[in-house]
Structure 1
Amino acid sequence: MNRSEAITVEIRIGIANTARELSFESAQSADAVTSTIQKALEASESFVTFTDVKGNTYIVPTTGITFIEVGTEESRRVGFVA
């Protein structure tokens, strides 16, 4: 039996003037994601960068953010059961 668990958190970001929201899973903790967002907004940075569990990178302009929803941390089983 080969099993491991990975912690993921779902992130949803609303962007002004778009019909859809950006939604992805991150391997970062909910606290780390929240901290990254808060620091970017407080420093008036022009964008914030996220990386999802698949390695895709998202660059989001902070001026266009209408909302950010950071889900709860969930453990997800990864591997095979034999």
Structure 2
Amino acid sequence: MDVTIGVQNLTREVVVETEESAEAVATAVKKALTGGTLELTDSRGRQVIVPGAAIGYVEIGSEEQRKVGFGAV
């Protein structure tokens, strides 16, 4: 699932592809907004840490995998 994080005073977004569920990401975001840091681990094992005070917005993508190919036509 893709998570897009808008950071205050930056023009670019931080995009993280993670294996975590949408509920786990939402819980981590809510915890970060109350005075902590948002810590996510991406699908390659890298850790992304964003200060909660700097978060402008967070967009949590759907957990459904995109279909590739033509399928049954």
* Residue 25 (structure 1) aligned with residue 25 (structure 2): no
The structure showing larger relative contact order (alpha-carbon pairs under 8 Å, at least 6 residues apart) is 1
> Structure 1 unaligned runs (5+)?
1-8, 77-82
Figure out how many residues of one structure are paired with residues of the other and give that number. 67
Whether the aligned pair in 1 keeps the contact of 2:33 and 2:53 (CA below 8 Å) is no
Alignment of 1:1-82 (within 5 A): 9-42=1-34, 44-45=35-36, 47-75=37-65
1:80 maps to which residue?
none
SS at match of 1:39: helix
Taking every aligned residue pair, what percent have the same amino acid on both sides? 38
Query: How far apart are 1:41 and its partner, in Å?
Result: 1.9
Q: Give the secondary-structure state (helix, strand or coil) at the position aligned to 1:63.
A: helix
The TM-score normalised by the length of structure 1 is 0.73
Distance 1:57 1:73 in 2: 20
Output the amino acid matched with 1:34.
Answer: A
Q: CA deviation at 1:36?
A: 1.2
**Divergent runs of 4+, >4 A:** none
Two-structure CA RMSD over aligned residues (Å)? 1.6
Counterpart-to-counterpart distance in 2, 1:25 and 1:12 = 9
